[in-house]
Amino acid sequence: MMPGYGLARFMDQDLGVWQGVGRKLGDVILACTALGVLLVALGLNVHLGPGILKTISTDSVKAHVDFHTFWHSAAALWEGEDIYDTGAEAENRNPPFWTLLISPLGLLKPLVAYRIFSMVSVILTVAYLTWMAGEVRLSSWWAVPAAVLLLLSSPLLKTLALGQIYPVLAAGLVAAWISDRRGKVVISGSALGLVVALKPSLAPIILWPLVRRRWKAVVAALVAASAATLVGAIVAGPGATLEWLRLLSDETLNPFWDNASLSSAAARLFTENEFARPIATLPWMVPVAYVLGIGAIAFAAGRVRQDPEVALWALVAASLLASPIAWHNYLVLLGPGILLLLAQGWVAPGFLLLALQSIPPYWPVLWAGKDTVLATLALTLYFYILVAHWLVFVVAAQKRPAGRPEIGTPIQT
């Protein structure tokens, strides 16, 4: 034996022990933080009341702002009118293809259509969460409480209250992820393409197969996105597609506190705005935020080869950070990824993300109207939550746990 070999081996073992202790301590801190967040969320719900549940159950269809807009577009499609000039209170910024998908609801009365849409959204959410938990073989000890927390999460409840599209997009992401895991790359790519067709701001997810040179999946994604857009344009008319593109190009930066994107946070923190007092007047921070958003996408894409399974969800989170608009409700898209984290053993970080999603939309009420730097920082909470999701997914994608098969390896069923 070489001199010093025994000492070096002892030191390596000692270092490993201390690293293990450090990880366990970190998990304890994260778990305690998650419990604290859950208590805060419970306190807010008790103190300020179940406003979202009242909105979901109300008979006033105008309270379901987004769906009311979708319904007007669907009804206009059947009448051969402009689907983007319907007299609805809010603008419909979704593509014609979405209006085509929900067009049958335009034949029903608005409130009946909303009830059906919300019921389908709940069923779809339960289905894709169950599908994901089963695919990753998540223990029922975690699958049940995690699914319950996601079903009662602030992003999903507000999505249901407003009648938004996110459960459909999340189901598409799960279908793409599981299809790729089972070696069905064309189906996976097609699902990704349909998701992008419905939400172009998620276009960076095409990097998921591109970085791994899954050319069939990339081609399928591009074909599916193009075909869906073309079908929508043919049915609704080319004028409707041009109007939709104009609406997207006219979209201005919104520093409203519910907008969790990087650029929105920069505008809220560093420019004069009607929602919060800036902590400093630095307008150049907004373009810097866009650059950082691109960097977040590139960083997540760099993790694809290390662990593609987690990296997809890191890319989704990065896409939200880089987008001009990323409402807090968009976190619905990341729920399936949290189930994956739990299945891979990232229990404490996954539990923290579940807790953060439980914070109700009443949080800004505590700070709105307060002209202080502290209030501005507090009103940016939803941005911090989105960053936390991105960070956890990126860190989890750095190293593949031993013994886990590479994504894309066909799994016998």
Answer yes or no: is pLDDT of 355 > 80: yes
What pLDDT band is residue 4 in, cutting at 50, 70 and 90? very low
Higher pLDDT, 17 or 341: 341
What pLDDT band is residue 400 in, cutting at 50, 70 and 90? low
Sign of the C-alpha dihedral computed for residues 262, 265, 269 and 273 taken in this order:
positive
How many residues make up the chain in this entry? 413
Q: Which of 200, 182, 178, 204 is nearest to 191 (CA)?
A: 178
pLDDT tens by residue, 82-124: 898 888 888 888 999 999 999 999 999 999 999 999 999 999 9
Per-residue pLDDT, 18: 38
Exposed/middle/buried for residue 410 (C-beta within 10 Å: 0-12, 13-18, 19+): exposed
Per-residue pLDDT, 243: 87
- Lowest pLDDT segment from 29-33, 151-155, 295-299: 29-33
Residue 4 neighbours by CB distance under 10 Å: 9
Contact 196, 358 (CB under 8 A): no
Per-residue pLDDT, 326: 93
Per-residue pLDDT, 10: 39
Instruction: Please compute the mean of the pLDDT values over residues 129-155 and round it to a whole number.
Output: 94
- Letter for the amino acid at 83? I
- The token pair that represents 126 in the structure block: 């339960």
Mention every residue, 6+ apart, whose C-beta is less than 8 A from residue 350.
146, 338, 339, 341, 342, 392
Per-residue pLDDT, 57: 84
Contact 41, 355 (CB under 8 A): yes
Per-residue pLDDT, 218: 97
Instruction: Please compute the mean of the pLDDT values over residues 364-385 and round it to a whole number.
Output: 88
Instruction: Establish how many alpha carbons lie within 13 A of residue 336's alpha carbon, considering only the half-sphere containing its beta carbon.
Output: 32
259 strand-pairing partners: 327
Answer yes or no: is pLDDT of 408 > 80: no
What pLDDT band is residue 404 in, cutting at 50, 70 and 90? very low
pLDDT tens by residue, 12-40: 444 344 345 556 787 788 889 889 988 98
Instruction: Please compute the mean of the pLDDT values over residues 65-80 and round it to a whole number.
Output: 92
Sign of the C-alpha dihedral computed for residues 61, 62, 63 and 68 taken in this order:
positive
pLDDT, mean over the chain: 87
